[in-house]
Amino acid sequence: MKIRQKDIKEIVKQKYDQIAKGSNREGQASSCCGGSDCCSGDDYSVFNDDYSGLQGYNQEADLGLGCGIPVDYADLREGDTVLDLGSGAGNDCFVARSLVGDEGFVYGLDFSKEMVKKARKNAIRMGYENMTFLLGEIEAMPLGDNTAHKVLSNCVLNLVPDKSRAFAEVSRVLKPGGSFCISDVVTIGDLPEPVLKSAEMYAGCVAGAIARDEYLDIIKKTGFSDIQVHKEKQIVLPDEMLADYLSSEELETFRSSNRGIYSITVSARKPS
């Protein structure tokens, strides 16, 4: 039976708490929601991009749970106020801080208490004062209107049940003329249920992912402009896994199509 979105969210919260309590990156990134029908035995490394060469990179904050590098396309500038949604241990926040400088400010928001605690410890260890990590939900952010110049998020909004509400909140906290850059998980094309289930088991919590066009349409309907998809990367499911569900002819047809699970990095602007 397919797990409901709100159940996925609770499973993810519990798993992220467990990951945050861990002491090393290896093994932590292999599961975002542990032993469940959502994604048992999954592997997020098929999404993850290498941050290690970026200015501000903090290895202790990199748990390998992302699916892109949104800061690459966010046009962060010195003095900007930045908000990272689903900030985890602070990986994107520390890179963002290096770009906005001492005059900027970085907020991190996460719904996992343990992740917030870990991120705060990392910030203290680094001696950073112009950043703070908040506990809260993306659908009801504990921040005022027009707070941030830029909003970031990395492989998180696909797990939010009400994506329309989430993007409405992104718009609310952005300053007029501000922008977001988000890396996330989407689907392209109609996927057979067995293929989707195998993807959920193999590649992390993609159970909350929606169709790419639907995702972009939500952004447009929220009122954002200048919508750009900067990068797409497909999750390539192993043939031996798909062979359990598809005949050789069906597998060949599937491989020759562009149907599948993708990570995308998309940006858009709030009208001024």
pLDDT at position 108 is 98
Domain 5-269's class? alpha beta
Residue 203 is predicted with a pLDDT of: 53
Mean pLDDT of the chain: 84
Residue stretches of the chain with pLDDT short of 70: 1-11, 13, 23-47, 197-205, 207
How many angstroms separate the CA atoms of 91 and 119, rounded?
A: 8
Quick: pLDDT tens for 195-211.
776 666 555 557 678 99
pTM to 2 decimal places: 0.84
User: What residue spans define the domains of the chain?
Assistant: 5-269
Burial of 85 (0-12, 13-18, 19+ CB in 10 A): buried
